[in-house]
Amino acid sequence: MNSPPSNSPPVIFAPARRVARRRRMRALQMQADAARFITDDMVEDVVDRLAFLRHQPANALVVGDVTGALSAALQAQGVAVTRADPAPGFDAIAIDEEQPLPFGQGFDLVVSLGTLDTVNDLPGALIHLRRAMAPGGLAIIAIPGAGSLPAMRAMMLAADGDRPAPRLHPQIDVRAGGQLLQRAGFADPVVDSHSLRASYRTLGKLVGDLRAQGLSACLARGGAPLGKAGLARAELAFAELADEGRVTETFEILTLSGWAKALKPPKF
C-alpha cells in the first residue's frame, strides 16, 4: 500500500547545526581581525536601498545582524529596532524562521541578513516574515545565492575523487527568488544579485573566512570528513587554481525585496 504524499518540505539542513554555526560565527566576529566583508556589504546595500526608495520606517525587525552595524545605522535614524536571530545572544531574540514569529503584525521594515538560505521551508519562512509586517512595510532579504563559491566547489570535487559527497549548500537564483516572493504574498517583488570577490593564498584562510561569516556547511546529510588524503587533494587543487599564488573566490549576494500591500488584480 502506497503512503500518502507528504506536504512537509525536504530536510536539507540540520537545525541544530545551523544554530551551532551561528553561535560560532558570533564568537569569531568578536575578534578584531575577523572577516566580515559579506555582512558589511549587505548592511551597506540595505541602507542604500532605503535611501533610494525614500522609505523611512518607524520600527524594524532585523534578523541576523551579528555585528550590530545595521541596527546601529537604523537607530541613528530614529528607528525602533527589534533584533532577532536563529541563535540567541547579543540582545537578539531567538527565533525559528520556519515557525510563526513571536511578534505582532506591525513592522514597517523587515530585514534578514544571511540566514534564510539555510531553512528547510523557505516559502514558509517568507510567509512568517510577511505576516509580521504592517501595511506599506518593506522587506529586504539578503542571502548568498547561486554562483557562490565556485573555487571551493571545484576543490571539494577534487578532494572527493570518484565519490563526490554533499559538502556545499544548494543555492537560490534570481528567478527562483522572484517566484518565492510572489508565493509568499509580497507585492512589487524585486530580486537582483551582485558579486563579491576575495583572493586567498591558502585554503585554510578561505575556510577560516567562511566560518567567520557563517558560511560553513550545516547539511543534514553532509559528507564524511575529508581525512588527510582528501585534504591533500584539496590543497593540490587549490595550487592548480591559483594565479600568481592566489585563488580568487566569488560570493554571489542575492537580494529579495517586496512590499506588504494588497496585490493588484491582473489585467485582462
CATH number at residue 181: 3.40.50.150
pLDDT score, position 11: 95
pLDDT score, position 9: 87
Q: Please state the domain count of the chain.
A: 1
CB 232 within 8 Å of CB 238: no
The answer to whether residue 7 sits within a structural domain is no
The answer to whether residue 201 sits within a structural domain is yes
In the numeric block, the cell 564524511 is attached to 224
* CA 263 – CA 86 distance, rounded (Å): 30
pLDDT score, position 261: 83
CB 90 within 8 Å of CB 111: no
* CA 198 – CA 247 distance, rounded (Å): 8
Q: What percentage of the chain reaches a pLDDT higher than 70?
A: 95
**Residue 196 has what DSSP assignment?**
E
* CA 105 – CA 61 distance, rounded (Å): 11
Q: Which three cell numbers stand for residue 151?
A: 573555487
Between 119 and 88, the higher pLDDT residue: 119
Single-letter residue type at 69: A
pTM of the model: 0.92
pLDDT tier at 266, thresholds 50, 70, 90: very low
Inter-CA distances, 267 with 18, 74, 125, 231, 263, Å: 43, 38, 30, 58, 12
pLDDT score, position 21: 95
Domain range for 216 is 15-260
The answer to whether residue 5 sits within a structural domain is no
The answer to whether residue 2 sits within a structural domain is no
What are the pLDDT digits (tens) for 133-164? 999 999 999 999 999 999 999 999 999 988 88
pLDDT score, position 214: 95
The answer to whether residue 6 sits within a structural domain is no
* CA 59 – CA 238 distance, rounded (Å): 46
pLDDT score, position 234: 97
Q: Tell me the helix, strand and coil percentages in the chain, rounded to 5.
A: 35, 25, 40
Between 90 and 61, the higher pLDDT residue: 61
Instruction: Give the least confident one: 58-72, 112-126, 198-212, 249-263.
Output: 249-263
The answer to whether residue 268 sits within a structural domain is no
Q: Which three cell numbers stand for residue 250?
A: 566569488
Is the pLDDT at 241 greater than 50? The verdict is yes
Average pLDDT over residues 59-88: 95
pLDDT score, position 162: 84
Q: Which three cell numbers stand for residue 158?
A: 577534487
DSSP string over 221-257: TPPPP-HHHHHHHHHHHHHHH-BTTBEEEEEEEEEEE
Single-letter residue type at 131: R
The answer to whether residue 194 sits within a structural domain is yes
The answer to whether residue 178 sits within a structural domain is yes
Between 93 and 89, the higher pLDDT residue: 93
H-only helix segments in the chain = 15-29, 37-53, 69-76, 122-131, 150-160, 174-183, 203-212, 227-241
